[in-house]
A and B are shown apart, each in its own frame.
Chain A
Amino acid sequence: MVFHANMLPFFIITGIIGGAYLGFVFRQSNRSLINGMMLGGAAGLVGPWLFMTPLRSCTFETERTNTDFLLGLFFFFFGAALVIWLVQYISLFFHPDIKMRPSLIGKQDSRGVFRSNFLVPFLLLLPTLIILALFLYYPAYETFRLATFRYRLGAPRTPFKCVDNFTELLTADYGEIMIITLTLSALIVIFALIISLAIAYLAYQPVKGASIYRTLLIWPYAISPPVAGIIFFVMFDPVAGVIDHLTTTFLNTGIPAWSESPNFARFIIVAASVWKVLGYNILFYIAGLQTIPKDLIEAAAIDGANGWQRFRNVVIPLLSPITFFLIITNLTYAFFETYGTIDYLTRGGPTGATTTAIYNIMITAKQDKWLGRAAAQSVVLFVIVIGITVWQFRTSGRQVNYGA
């Protein structure tokens, strides 16, 4: 741990904020104000080191640029906030009033609360927590540490680069990559949900051979993203592809060449990615449709609701837990798993029109071998996806009807 004199005022700030916040929280829940202030103050002083240790406090060195300094401050306060929040949460388990201790199961359900020692549930969770720590939190922390180096497999030297790997992302080019990522991901999720719900609703109808349709519909999910890429490439190849041949024969016009139409290239990526995830969504939607009580729909029919109204006002709300789950999984898919499809279809082109964040990470890490730079990019992507997921839980998550 390296300490620079100019870090002192910021430590004072985080210490005061932590102390004030936890003191306030402790007072509110009838606990000792002094204890809360001391605990919060300590958390505020320790927290910044979470990121300052791997960074060796380098952003506070006098010769760094303002951008470096500001980014360093961000990490400084982020670490403090994380630890203060964590201490606050953990302290709740030690609340003298057992009723105030948080339930691990959920607020609505008190039947399963452990009334014995609160350590028992943690003991039971320990295997999971160990695996999470070992295979998720530790690697995530290592990724951040890696992002502070100019690291390359097989290189004799690995120079420390402070936050350079992050600040060099502050370019117009990378901003464009982010916009493309968000746009493509949003389109993939929206179309994947709408189309799969429509298909699932059809496949759910009691027709002859329904189980065969359903099985066939789920198949695309078993195909790997690169294979989806190859299939769509063979179809949409603008020069010698099947679709081009068909449109030329019947409509007397070829499909637009990817090289001249970046939006067409993006469309193909979205189409291939949507097609690939359809089977998965349909599987869940059919399962969801089967759980909808028939009497509800009948009741709506008796009340005079037509087919669309029944679908819109009964089926869709009852499917909301499934939809919410699928939004999260599809979003993760769109952000992280479309690399193979893009690689086999457009290779991120033309002129970067389909270069998404994950594609850029893979190119930087696997092809160009800059592991430190790729680590920085994946930290950025990680933060963005976490942000979107939290936002999802806060907004649409509230509207989910679990039927309880």
Chain B
Amino acid sequence: MRKLFLMLILALLVMVIPAAAQDDEATDIVVWIAFTDGRLDWARERAAEFNELYPEYNVIIEGYGSYNEAFDATLLAAEQGNPPAITHFFEAATQEARDAVTDSGEPLFKSVEAAIAGRTEINGVPVILDDVISAAANYYTLDGEFTSMPWNTSSAIMFTNMDILEAAGIEEIPATWQELEAACEVIMAMESAPEACITWPNHSWFFEQSMAQQGADLANNGNGREARATEVFINSDAAVAYLDWWKRMYDNGYYVYTGVVRDWTGTYNAFIAQQVAFLIYSSSDTTLITNDSQEAGFTAVASFMPHNGEVEYVGNLIGGATLWLNNGLDEETETGALMFMNWFSNPQNAADWHKFTGYVPITNAAIELLEEEGWYEENPNSRVASAQLEAAQPSSATAGALIGNFVAIRDVITSAVEEILLNDVDVVEALNAANEEANQLLSDYNELYGE
């Protein structure tokens, strides 16, 4: 017993001493990532490589269950004077991240571009900011400057079960709402019809994508990009058109609703189990869908997210998250954090990240690298999201909305969709009510943050 105890103490010492020794040499760069799955492991592997390449730094990756958790923890840590160097936070909360201040009134985050201050390389690590694909650059550039470093970036695309499509005798993947509806009519009339024709999560992101496709802003002041948004347009004509179409798809039994908002798992499973022919989803899982469909014994082909064929197609926008640099770091930590951010998305890493997940390659150099490798020829599905973002016309609508309290407003949108689909509420009426509620939430927010 005593022997065991001594050995335990020894083992503890062995673990503690090198850690303590390491602290003295290398500067710790603490990075909070809002993933807990394989994507966190991927980030940890990269951090280990970085630490080997640059032994003067010690990047520590810590996982959080959600973006909000990481954000709240960062705020509290900053107020206690011990923030991480980098925090991972999502696109819809960009306004909130820009507005956030600590107890002392200091901004929580620092603009990445301001911190880089025109350098093209930092201690030998090339700065990648100028090379970031335009869709992401447009979203995250505010007042002419990148506020955070893009990392996981996706777009909404459609996956088609080609076996069902062939069985129905449809030759081309539908590209518009109208074509999709016609295809569904054919598919559902088959004897061996699947349970439903199509599904996608009732997530406000798809609503926002549809607004962008039709060139409609979601908020005033140029989608909140010229000045702080003070009004939202959830009941615009584009929104009514989208919901009218969606409701018709649902009423005809073409669209299956899993009954749960933001249901990524249920919709995904429905597609893989071949219960639906089409799935509109995030490109972030392209690799997974392609592999899982092969395992399930059918071919899934990715294509652009269908748009309203009755109006001009303007383009889709991004989704995902960025890395935010915390304010008030000492110079050495900040330099290390900037080095890591830029190295983390260098062409090699960005390409690897894309292959591993399906998030778009974040720089043009990464796309070139993948083209040279012949990756896209072997994996045509993986090209779709980038191509869709490249096809977008630059405008405030495709740049995406910047709205305070966006997460709560998104909830209002998904609730309105449920009301419309399930409770047979009139589309215009439901969207008007949602708009009023969302405007109230926005003015509540602006009361706290506005000028």
| B257 contacts A by Cβ under 8 Å | yes
Task: Please name all residues of chain B whose beta carbon is closer than 8 Å to the beta carbon of A352 when the two chains form the complex.
Answer: 415
Within 8 A of B (CB), among A236-286: 237-241, 257-260, 265
- Is the pair B421, A347 in contact by a Cβ cutoff of 8 Å? no
Q: In the complex, how many angstroms separate the beta carbon of A312 from the nearest chain B beta carbon?
A: 41
Question: How many residues on the B side are at the interface (Cβ–Cβ under 8 A)?
Answer: 48
Task: Please name all residues of chain B whose beta carbon is closer than 8 Å to the beta carbon of A348 when the two chains form the complex.
Answer: 261
Task: Please name all residues of chain B whose beta carbon is closer than 8 Å to the beta carbon of A153 when the two chains form the complex.
Answer: 72, 75-76, 100
- Is the pair B259, A346 in contact by a Cβ cutoff of 8 Å? yes
- Is the pair A351, B415 in contact by a Cβ cutoff of 8 Å? yes
Task: Please name all residues of chain A whose beta carbon is closer than 8 Å to the beta carbon of B259 when the two chains form the complex.
Answer: 238, 257-260, 265, 346, 349-350
- Is the pair B100, A240 in contact by a Cβ cutoff of 8 Å? no
Within 8 A of A (CB), among B217-270: 256-263, 265-266, 269-270
Across the interface, name the chain B residue whose C-beta is closest to A368: B408
Q: From B49-57, B161-169, B347-355, B442-450, give the one contacting chain A.
A: B442-450
Q: Report the separation of the CA atoms of residues A239 and B260 in the bound assembly, to the nearest whole angstrom.
A: 12
Task: Please name all residues of chain A whose beta carbon is closer than 8 Å to the beta carbon of B68 when the two chains form the complex.
Answer: 366-367, 369
Task: Please name all residues of chain B whose beta carbon is closer than 8 Å to the beta carbon of A238 when the two chains form the complex.
Answer: 258-259, 266
| A115 contacts B by Cβ under 8 Å | no
| A206 contacts B by Cβ under 8 Å | no
- Is the pair B269, A239 in contact by a Cβ cutoff of 8 Å? yes
- Is the pair A156, B448 in contact by a Cβ cutoff of 8 Å? yes
Chain A binding site: helix, strand, loop or mixed by DSSP?
A: loop
Query: Residues 401-419 of chain B: 1 if any A CB is under 8 Å from the residue's CB, otherwise 0?
Result: 0000101100100010011
- Is the pair B407, A368 in contact by a Cβ cutoff of 8 Å? yes
| B113 contacts A by Cβ under 8 Å | no
Within 8 A of A (CB), among B100-159: 100-102, 105, 108
**Which of A152, A239, A367 is B258 in contact with, Cβ under 8 Å?**
A239
Q: In the complex, how many angstroms separate the beta carbon of B152 from the nearest chain A beta carbon?
A: 20
| B189 contacts A by Cβ under 8 Å | no
**Which of A155, A239, A345, A366 is B101 in contact with, Cβ under 8 Å?**
A155
- Is the pair B418, A350 in contact by a Cβ cutoff of 8 Å? yes
- Is the pair A154, B270 in contact by a Cβ cutoff of 8 Å? no
- Is the pair A367, B257 in contact by a Cβ cutoff of 8 Å? no
- Is the pair B269, A240 in contact by a Cβ cutoff of 8 Å? yes
Q: In the complex, how many angstroms separate the beta carbon of A73 from the nearest chain B beta carbon?
A: 27
- Residues in A lying within 8 Å of B, measured CB to CB: 150, 152-159, 233, 237-241, 257-260, 265, 345-352, 363, 366-370
Using A237-B269, A240-B270 as known contacts, list a sample of 18 further A-B pairs with CB atoms less than 8 Å apart, ordered by residue number in A.
Answer: A150-B444, A153-B100, A154-B75, A154-B108, A156-B105, A157-B447, A157-B448, A157-B449, A233-B265, A239-B258, A257-B257, A257-B258, A259-B258, A259-B421, A348-B261, A350-B260, A368-B405, A368-B408
A–B complex contacts, Cβ < 8 Å, 12 sampled: A154-B96, A154-B100, A155-B448, A159-B447, A240-B275, A258-B258, A258-B259, A259-B258, A349-B261, A350-B418, A351-B423, A369-B407
